[in-house]
Amino acid sequence: MHLVHYAAMSKLTHYLAKEGLTQRAFAARVSVDPSIISRLTREEMTPGLQLAVDIERETNGFVPASSWVEASLKRAG
């Protein structure tokens, strides 16, 4: 079975849609400005380590912190 790899940004977007959460509501859960979540989902930035860990915790592992590193490497490569 072939598993589709989602970039971290797509996983976050998918998680928000699946849970019916707005970017603003999720931003409040991880204690950041909503513009940060917006920029993450548009692939304009990657989070620092603490925010990546907070996102992993808040999504119960759906968006692992390590996925942001993978996404950054793909964008750079």
Residues 6+ apart with CB under 8 A from 15: 21, 59, 62, 63
Per-residue pLDDT reduced to its tens digit, 15-56: 999 999 999 999 999 999 999 999 999 888 889 999 999 999
What domains, with CATH codes, occur in the chain? 8-76 (1.10.260.40)
Residues 6+ apart with CB under 8 A from 34: 23, 24, 27
Are 67 and 8 within 8 A, CB to CB? yes
User: Phi/psi at 38 (nearest 5 deg)?
Assistant: -60, -45
pLDDT of residue 73: 64
